[in-house]
Amino acid sequence: MKKMMKLLQSRSGQGAPLILAVVLVCLLLSCVVFEYMRLLIVAQGVRDAAQSAIVDVAAENWDEAYPGLREGYSGGYQLSGSSWYENVSNGNVYDRMRQVLGLEYDGGSYAKYSGEALEYRVSGLRLDVENTPLAPAIAGGITQLNVTGTITVQVPLSFGWGHLPPMEITMRLKSSYVPKF
């Protein structure tokens, strides 16, 4: 430490490369931190939009799942002849996300562009609507309509000059609709 202080106090100009190196390291670290924050913001925005769309699917199916025909009986089923079939839908989650996030369809996935540059890509949506039972097996048991899904988000890095692979994350989402009795 004394050697460094002595080097900085000398007036021979030998401290200039050290100061330049410190400034460059600080700039590099700040670039990494800003890129990490950008990735977090993009991932959170996509997660919020997808979660909102899945909540909408659960809310759309509530009328089918809880028609109020009889106390304790529920489920999104419809009688056809002598058999029952499920009457719930998956909704159009991609269309809702496209409207909210401004996505464009691009070769099997949806992408968000900033001018010509790709901001992120969304693909691989899998949605499962778990219907409530027609007549619950457990008297007084809580039954609910569950909507679960996964979606993959791919964000190219702006740090690393194209040498680093894009961040790819699979998000798991869940929404439940519980009626008030």
The predicted-structure confidence for 24-38, as pLDDT tens digits, reads as follows: 999 999 998 999 999
Range of the domain at 161: 17-177
Q: Is residue 5 part of a domain?
A: no
- For residue 6, tell me if it sits in a domain: no
Number of domains in the chain: 1
51 domain-assigned: yes
Q: Is residue 4 part of a domain?
A: no
Flag whether 71 is in a domain. yes
- Global pTM reads 0.71
Residue identified by tokens 């100009």 is 13
Residue 7 lies in a domain: no
Task: For residues 86-91, give the mean pLDDT.
Answer: 71
Residue 3 lies in a domain: no
Instruction: Name, of 59-63, 83-87, 111-115, 138-142, the range with top average pLDDT.
Output: 111-115
Residue 29 domain-assigned (yes or no): yes
Binned at pLDDT 50, 70 and 90, residue 169 comes out as very high
Q: Between the ranges 34-48, 68-82, 149-163, 164-178, where is the mean pLDDT highest?
A: 34-48
